Amino acid sequence: MLPIDAAAHSSRWRRRHPVDKAVLGLGLTVLAISLPPWPGAALVLVTALAVLLGPAGVPGRRLWRAYRVPLGFCVTGALPLLVQVGSPAGFVTWADGGPVRAAELLLRTSAASLGVLLFAFTTPMSDLLPRLVRAGVPAPVVDVALVTYRMSFLLLDSVRRIRQAQAARLGHTTRAATWRSLGGLGATAFVRAFDRAARLQTGLAGRGYDGTLRVLVPEARVSVPFTAASAALLVALAVLTLVLERPLS
């Protein structure tokens, strides 16, 4: 199981309905994208970070390990805004207003990523996917997503075991050996994935599979106080941004 999935299953908000957490987490993401980057996205970033480390109870080290990957993409996407290509001053020169645009983009994307992580760190996929059928998503699509989600952990475990076996047989001592081990790893993982898929299909056929996977979903109800408090927080952030935008700009 991935660290973010383990954190979601042990979260303080695990028993809350996904709608409650979607209003807060995805609402923060929408605000980060739609509000002015300064001070809107900055306020969203601070708020999402406070909720993650405070009421949601996400450990700081685990949050950083998950956040540094999207943050790296955010920084990579902002860097090209610092330069321009083909200007009269030269082939590659500093762009006018590039640092400002790069900082704004970095604020928006990093704040939006924290909003998505807030939802991911508190909502296991096994609680979310079965409920999508009630929201109107076709059942076969949900079944494929659910099976893919569960099979991915088995595939990752197989890859880890193969790598350990290759390392124990000195398969990573040289660069050539590493490339050979990598090729063998891909081939073995591919064969095992097809073998598991075939066994899964056989098992479902033997159990009278009729096109729908029936799984137990933990009972949860939408909390009106929690949803109302989340909506009030989002409105307060939007109002505060509009109030502070003119003086700060």
Give the start-to-end residue ranges of the domains of the chain.
3-123+219-248, 132-206
The whole-number average pLDDT for the span 124-139 is 77
Least reliable range by pLDDT among 1-10, 17-26, 222-231: 1-10
The whole-number average pLDDT for the span 193-218 is 74
- In this structure, what are the phi and psi dihedrals at residue 129, rounded to the nearest 5 degrees? -60, -45
Band (pLDDT 50/70/90 cuts) for residue 221 is confident
Top mean-pLDDT range of 80-84, 91-95, 176-180: 176-180
Would you state the pLDDT for residue 232?
A: 92
The whole-number average pLDDT for the span 52-79 is 87
Burial of 208 (0-12, 13-18, 19+ CB in 10 A): exposed
Top mean-pLDDT range of 11-15, 79-83, 164-168, 229-233: 229-233
Residue 90 pLDDT greater than 80, yes or no: no
| Residue 150 three-state SS | helix
Band (pLDDT 50/70/90 cuts) for residue 235 is very high
71-79: list long-range contacts, CB under 8 Å, 24+ apart: 71/110, 71/113, 73/109, 74/105, 74/106, 74/109, 74/110, 74/113, 75/106, 77/105, 77/109, 78/102, 78/103, 78/105, 78/106, 78/109
Would you state the pLDDT for residue 1?
A: 59
pTM of this structure:
0.75
The whole-number average pLDDT for the span 141-155 is 79
The whole-number average pLDDT for the span 142-149 is 78
The whole-number average pLDDT for the span 210-237 is 80
- In this structure, what are the phi and psi dihedrals at residue 83, rounded to the nearest 5 degrees? -125, 165
The whole-number average pLDDT for the span 160-181 is 84
Band (pLDDT 50/70/90 cuts) for residue 248 is low
Least reliable range by pLDDT among 5-9, 34-38, 189-193, 222-226: 5-9
Token pair belonging to 181: 């081990």
139 or 123: which leads in pLDDT: 123
CA distance 223 to 189: 43
Q: Please work out, in degrees rounded to the nearest 5, the angle formed at the alpha carbon of residue 14 by the alpha carbons of 29 and 24.
A: 20
